[in-house]
Amino acid sequence: MDIYYSKIQEWHNPPFEGYSQDGYKPSLEKPERALIMLEELKKTGWANILPPKQFDLEPIYAVHSSLYLEYIKSAYQDWVEFSPVPQMAFIPGTMGFSHSMIHSGGISEAHGFFLLDTTVAINKYTYNAALNAANCALSGAHSITQGSTVFALCRPPGHHAGREICGGYCFLNNTAIAAQWFSNRGKVAILDIDYHVGNGTQEIFYERSDVFTISLHADPRHEYPYYAGYAHEIGSGNGKGFNRNFPLPAGISDNDYLVVLDHALGLIDYFSPDYLVIPIGMDIHMDDPLGDFSITTEGIYQIGERIADLNLPTLVVMEGGYHIPSLGKNVVAFLTPFASSLNNLESE
């Protein structure tokens, strides 16, 4: 199985994800996540790890605004010039809660316009890392053939990022960028199985009927991102009926999860997509520090097995998952059923 990964993604190493009375809280989204996944993938014998191709920005501008890209690109330098603190990333104290608001074009504090929360500190390398993550997703999309599966090992993740807002460790929506590229070639279904709702992906395709977005996730009444992910959000305009959310209760077991998954897979089958994009988050695992599901590694294998049974051209995109000891093994468990399907063996 082809897997896209760039070392440059390791240079995005956010120093904090928020504050508490004890000072900075360290970020759970860190380079070690990618390293443990690579380590476990290399043990399998079927993982063909490749550097991403470098694409131009056009497929990224198809999803994000140029003002937003300019922010990610220049925020660190703006901050250094405004108040030089070496190697420190910056989070403004004022955030733009609604995009009917006006971006003043001013320095640092005005950057809050683009922020959903405090988990998206930008360092000197964030822009480059995020571009490489997007290029991993695009490389995967370009290399998909009939019935094959490719894994984009993206970091930073992407599914909380909207057209011009970052949050939840996400800057560029790698999943949406790949799905948008696919949508010029056929119908796309996105099935998001990260523990958190893919609110950014939902927002980006909310009025589209050619990209069907489905997400299984923790109930937003008690879990991040709180303001999206409810079952009544079904899309609008042309997209009405083409967004589906399945909020799940705390402590959900493998079997109960698989029942909901089967229902979602039935909807995908009915939609009959040409391409499938699967944003995965191993924060669904029982040991994850952010999650409260009771999903086991065996359950994650079964989730992969059922999705692989659809036999569609499938791009798997890495999103969350923060329990380092199980993260690599869980990613391998999810991908193994795809790796053992005929087309992926033939492509080696």
Over the window 84 to 113, marking each residue x when it contacts ligand Q9C by CB under 6 A and - when it does not, the resulting string is: ------------------------------
Q: Quick one: tokens of 129?
A: 């890392």
Say how many residues touch Zn ion, by CB under 5 A: 6
Distance CA 133, CA 173 (A): 9
Whole-number Å distance between alpha carbons of 51 and 321: 22
329 binds Zn ion (CB under 5 A): no
CA distances to 28, 79, 120, 158 from 63, in Å: 26, 26, 19, 12
CA 73 distance to own-chain centroid:
20
14 binds ligand Q9C (CB under 6 A): no
113 touches which of Zn ion, ligand Q9C, none (CB within 5 to 8 A by kind)?
A: none
CB nearer to ligand Q9C: give 327 or 332.
327
Min separation Cβ 34 and Zn ion, Å: 15
Say if CB 289 and CB 280 are below 8 A apart: no
Tokens 């998909």 appear where? 144
* Distance in Å, CB of 209 to ligand Q9C, minimum: 26
Alpha-carbon distance values, 64 to 57, 180, 258 (Å): 10, 11, 34
Binding mask 224-263 toward Zn ion (x if CB under 5 A, else -) reads: ----------------------------------------
Q: Show the DSSP H helices in 22-173 as ranges.
A: 32-44, 58-61, 66-82, 126-143
| Catalytic status, residue 160 | yes
Q: Which of residues 188-207 bind Zn ion (CB under 5 A)?
A: 194-196
Residue showing tokens 């970052």: 166
- Reduced to 3 states, what is the DSSP secondary structure of residue 344? helix
Determine, following the binding rule CB under 6 A, whether residue 194 of this chain makes contact with ligand Q9C.
yes
Q: Is 313 in the site for ligand Q9C (CB under 6 A)?
A: no
Q: Does 330 engage in binding with ligand Q9C (CB under 6 A)?
A: no
Q: Report 207-226 residues binding ligand Q9C (CB under 6 A).
A: 224
Residue from 52, 200, 281, 328 binding ligand Q9C (CB under 6 A):
281
DSSP string, 270-338: HH--SEEEEEE-GGGBTT-SS----B-HHHHHHHHHHHHTT---EEEEE-----HHHHHHHHHHHHHHH
Site string for ligand Q9C, 239-278 (x = CB under 6 A): ----------------------------------------
Q: Which chain residues interact with Zn ion by CB under 5 A?
A: 194-196, 281, 283, 320
Q: Which chain residues interact with ligand Q9C by CB under 6 A?
A: 119, 157, 160, 168-170, 194, 196, 224, 281, 283, 290, 319-320
